[in-house]
Amino acid sequence: MNKYLLSLTVIGMVALGLAACGNNAKLPLSDGIGASPVLPPPAQSVLPTVAIALVDGWGEGERPVAAPGLTVGAYARGLDHPRWMHVLPNGDVLVAETNKPPHPAGGLRAYAEKQVMALAGAGVPSADRITLLRDADGDGLAEQRHILIDGLTSPFGMALVDGSLYVANTDALMRFDYTPGETRIETPGERIVDLPAAGTNRHWTKGLVAGPDGTLYIAVGSDSDHAEKGLAAEEGRAMIHALDPGATALRPFGTGLRNPVGMDFEPVTGALWTAVNERDELGGDLVPDYMTSVREGGFYGWPWSYYGQNVDPRVTPARPDKVAAALVPDYALGAHTASLGLTFAPGARLGERFAQGAFIGQHGSWNRKPRSGYRVIFVPFDEGKPAGDPVDVLTGFLQEGRAKGRPVGVAIAQDGALLVADDVGNTIWRVSAQ
């Protein structure tokens, strides 16, 4: 795209209010990371910051940069916008090749949104399939690739429970009969329960994880930044739902979570944790994305407050009662980092440094100067709680202001390596001990 068209796109994006943006950052990113982040006053601006990292992609022989003591290589290349993964008991890796469904309405807004996604490397149509990758000889490369299920609707989360493979489409939870080892599912899936997908379906991904008792937890993001479309548009959104074994209706588990994505169970306490993308348009230093344990019945503030009881002045009508009830998240991950992937370390064989804690895939900002995210980090834990500063695991996705790739989902392979889904790099990276 030439500079003229790029300028038109950015101007149109700002005019239409499509950018989730804020003023330039004034504080170091590290101030917005940790158990006690520095939260400056909110800064609203008529003209927001737009800092999209245009995508170059990986050249021949290029790869991200692994932390000292680790090495990285391609587990599988040439995928179609891989965003999420699920490792099966036999070691096969399921990958959701997926993207946002088409905008439900046409017109200039839909066109501008499409151009923004294209600039960020996310403008490809959704492949709408689950692909099975198999490393048959144990050399760290997936020699076999099979389309396990196609014809889905922007699939994302996956979970295997008692012979049933559950797939969270953007609009419904689906169930398929499945035995690990099979490379194709031909039978139609069963639609278990509908999921919110009306409106613009802004946060379209539906995270999914299974608890030890077979309960399914489904993460659903908001349809707006701060409920500017009205609360009626957010029915069933900005929360984690639970679906009990044998049940046919969802129940709220944790609410007030703007856009929860990755979920996993902390191995010491057994608590459910999630990575949450927070709101925008309050400045480059607000609001930090975060990871938190999720209490059953807990409320985490959205849209009335952020990071506990910090009031969002834009939300009307005010609800002091809701603000007073808001829980403080456990650990801030930095403003606008787009922290999506989350997996805990048990099973990883990356050395003592990465033995206890959580890996986080940070997709990267497009509305902050300087940019944030574009890396995979590790947050050390002790006795079930974060215990220290994050450690870079995989960097090099952002070079000279342009993106080579963007990390999303993270998962622990059967052999203990860390797998990272790079959606615009169309690659699954494998990180292992040297």
Q: pLDDT digit string (tens) for 197-214?
A: 999 999 999 999 999 999
Q: Is the pLDDT of residue 359 over 60?
A: yes
**Residue 59 tokens, joined:** 């050249």
**Residue 131 tokens, joined:** 């692909």
Cα 339 to Cα 341: distance, rounded to the nearest angstrom: 6
Cα 431 to Cα 407: distance, rounded to the nearest angstrom: 13
pLDDT in tens, 386-400: 999 999 999 999 999
CA–CA distances in Å: residue 99 to residues 4, 17, 187, 264, 420: 27, 22, 24, 22, 17
Q: Closest by alpha carbon to 398, among 74, 50, 56?
A: 56
Give me the pLDDT at residue 114, please: 62
Q: Closest by alpha carbon to 406, among 43, 124, 58?
A: 58
Q: Is the pLDDT of residue 9 over 50?
A: no
Cα 336 to Cα 315: distance, rounded to the nearest angstrom: 20
Domain spans of the chain?
3-433
- Confidence label for 14 from pLDDT (cuts 50, 70 and 90): very low
Give me the pLDDT at residue 123, please: 73
Beta bridge mates, 260 = 276
CATH number, span 3-433 = 2.120.10.30
Percentage of residues of the chain with pLDDT beyond 70: 89
Sheet order of strands, 70-76 included? 70-76, 427-433, 418-422, 407-412
Q: Is the pLDDT of residue 12 over 60?
A: no
pLDDT in tens, 83-123: 999 999 999 999 999 999 987 665 555 555 666 666 666 67
Q: Closest by alpha carbon to 275, among 377, 195, 395?
A: 377
Query: Within the chain, how many helices (H) and strands (E) appear?
Result: 3, 32
pLDDT in tens, 266-322: 999 999 999 999 999 999 999 999 999 999 999 999 999 999 999 999 999 999 999
Compute how many other C-beta atoms are within 10 angstroms of the C-beta atom of residue 340. Answer: 29
- State the average pLDDT for the chain: 92
Per-residue DSSP letter, 354: G
